[in-house]
Structures are given as structure tokens and as C-alpha cells.
């Protein structure tokens, strides 16, 4: 057991952490997605605390004020995964891991490359990286991911965000007024948007062969059929990339923003995975 972890350091960067729940509880690391921060877990975490679990939700690279390097290479997948590995080391042992959106992509990377650090893994919205990549060739997933190419453009997404057009896109993607208020305060006004976009801009420099490994830790995939960014095809294909107990949980009528829009269902899925282990 460690004391409260409010921050950790790696690679000259300092990351902020929300460490909550029983200090002696089994640790659960919660990884947020784009364009959100650790507060995206504020409705899920208390439900885990009620079951004696301790949660640690970091503001990841590009989001923490002390961890906003400027270069695209600084956001290569391997560095994002290594950041989370450093947090697990700070905790002092393997953790239950949960990740949404980009946090799920990083979680898959950690579960593939450092399985000894992960007791259980719950991926939210984003499927296994190999299943996702293959789906661009075998389904309509590519049509739903065109925004990823747009985010590669320098300055333009930031310019549109300053004019309110980014918020309009997020609303069409399912964000509600509360979600958008957090986006304005925690991402736009705090200067975290360039760092968040850098995760997309770093895509050409990450991955490699590691994205095609099978996961060997107990895994649950949680996906919602109202997700406009992730289609069913790569979600269904994910089972073939898990060589361990696996479950797919499909939430009906829920948007992409599962942690804030369906916290009870997500917490139940996490607790079921942890309990099964």
C-alpha cells in the first residue's frame, strides 16, 4: 500500500493524479480519452469506492500542466504507454486497468507490452488496436474516422475550436451541456487542446509490431451502439485478439461518452471483471 499519489514524474514531465477511495483498496487506474481529463471518471469512481476499491485517474500527457511537450514525436504510442507504466510503478504493483477512448488505446498497449502490470483490463469504446486497424480495410470504420486525418492539420483544429465550431462537432458526437462546460474549462481555457490533438499527430510515430500482440490478461470490452466514431466491426473482431477470459458488453442507446452518460453500467462491467479475477 502506498500513500496518496497526487502526482508522478517521468521523462522530465509531471503528471497530476486524482487518487480517491479507500487507501488500502485494490488500485484501479482510470485512463481518460479525448478531449477530456480525469474528471470524466467522477461518476464512475464513487461506485468503485463503495466496493472497497481505490481509484487513480491521471491527467495524461498533453493534459497535465506539467506534462505538455510540444513535439509530435513526444506523443508516440510507446511514450504514452510508458507514462502509465510509471504510474503503476508508483502505486507499487499490478493494477486493475480501465480506459476510455484514447485511454483505451493506451490501455491496450500496456496490456500487450507489460501484462505483468495489469491484473484485469476493461476497454471502453475503443477496441484492440489490431482489430481497429484491420477494420479500415474490411468495414465502413474508415468513414467514421475521417476526423483523425483532419486533426493531423497544424493549427486549423485549434482555430476552429476558438470559434466554437469544435464544440458543435462534440455536441453532434453526443456531448451534453455538462460535458461541453468541462471541455471549455478543462481543455480550451486551460490550454490542453494542443496536447490532446498531439495524440493524433503522434500516430505516425507509434505502435509498430506491438499493436498486433494478443492480450493475455482477463479483459472486458464495453461498447455502445450509439457511438458515432467506433463501428461494431472492430468491436466484434476484438475477441480474436484476447487469449484470456473475455466478455463483450454492449450498451444500447448510449453515445460514445460512456463514463459520463452510463456510469452505472460501466461500473458494473468493471466490478464484474474485477470480481471474476
104-158 pLDDT per residue, tens: 999 999 999 999 999 999 999 999 999 888 877 777 886 776 777 777 877 777 8
Residue 227 DSSP symbol: -
CA–CA distance, 184 with 6 (Å, rounded to integer): 24
Q: Are 62 and 200 in contact (CB under 8 A)?
A: no
Closest CA to 266 of 132, 20, 98: 98
Q: Which residues of the chain have pLDDT under 50?
A: 208-209
Q: What is the pLDDT of residue 86?
A: 98
Cell 466491426 belongs to 233
Cis peptide before 214 (omega within 30 of 0): no
Give the CATH number of domain 7-276. 3.40.50.1820
Q: What is the pLDDT of residue 208?
A: 47
CA–CA distance, 115 with 113 (Å, rounded to integer): 6
In Å, how far are 66, 105, 188, 207, 219 from 274, measured between CA atoms?
32, 20, 35, 28, 10
C-alpha grid cell for residue 241? 485478439
132 CB neighbour count, 10 Å cutoff: 24
Q: What is the pLDDT of residue 22?
A: 97
Q: What is the pLDDT of residue 244?
A: 98
Closest CA to 16 of 5, 30, 26: 5
CA–CA distance, 30 with 219 (Å, rounded to integer): 15
Host H or E run for residue 7: strand 7-10
Helices (H), ranges, the chain: 45-49, 77-91, 102-113, 129-138, 141-144, 146-150, 156-162, 165-172, 177-182, 193-201, 232-237, 258-261, 263-276
Q: What is the pLDDT of residue 275?
A: 95
Q: What is the pLDDT of residue 209?
A: 46
Q: What is the pLDDT of residue 157?
A: 78
Amino acid at each position: 500500500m502506498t500513500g496518496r499519489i497526487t502526482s508522478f514524474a517521468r521523462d522530465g514531465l509531471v503528471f497530476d493524479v486524482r487518487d480517491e477511495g479507500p487507501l488500502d483498496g485494490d488500485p484501479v487506474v482510470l485512463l481518460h480519452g479525448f478531449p477530456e481529463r480525469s474528471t470524466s471518471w467522477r461518476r464512475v469512481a464513487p461506485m468503485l469506492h463503495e466496493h472497497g476499491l481505490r481509484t487513480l485517474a491521471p491527467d495524461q500527457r498533453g493534459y497535465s500542466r506539467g506534462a505538455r511537450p510540444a513535439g509530435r514525436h513526444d506523443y508516440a504510442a510507446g511514450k504514452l504507454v510508458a507514462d502509465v507504466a510509471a504510474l503503476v510503478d508508483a502505486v507499487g504493483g499490478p493494477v486493475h486497468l480501465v480506459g476510455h477512448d484514447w485511454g483505451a488505446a493506451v490501455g491496450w498497449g500496456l496490456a500487450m507490452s507489460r501484462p505483468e502490470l495489469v491484473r484485469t483490463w476493461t476497454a471502453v469504446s475503443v477496441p484492440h488496436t489490431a482489430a481497429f486497424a484491420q477494420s479500415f480495410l474490411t468495414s465502413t470504420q474508415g468513414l467514421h474516422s475521417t476526423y483523425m486525418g483532419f486533426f493531423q492539420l497544424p493549427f486549423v483544429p485549434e482555430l476552429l475550436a476558438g470559434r466554437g465550431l469544435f464544440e458543435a462537432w462534440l455536441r453532434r458526437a453526443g456531448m451534453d451541456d455538462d460535458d461541453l462546460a468541462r471541455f471549455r474549462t478543462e481543455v480550451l481555457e486551460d490550454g490542453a487542446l494542443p496536447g490532446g490533438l498531439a495524440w493524433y499527430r503522434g500516430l505516425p510515430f507509434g505502435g509498430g509490431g506491438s499493436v498486433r500482440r494478443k492480450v493475455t490478461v482477463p479483459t472486458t470490452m464495453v461498447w455502445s451502439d450509439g457511438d458515432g466514431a467506433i463501428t461494431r466491426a472492430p468491436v466484434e473482431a476484438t475477441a480474436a485478439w484476447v487469449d484470456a477470459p473475455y466478455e463483450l458488453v454492449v450498451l444500447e442507446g448510449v453515445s460514445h461518452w460512456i463514463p459520463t452518460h452510463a456510469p452505472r453500467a460501466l461500473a458494473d462491467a468493471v466490478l464484474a471483471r474485477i470480481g471474476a479475477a
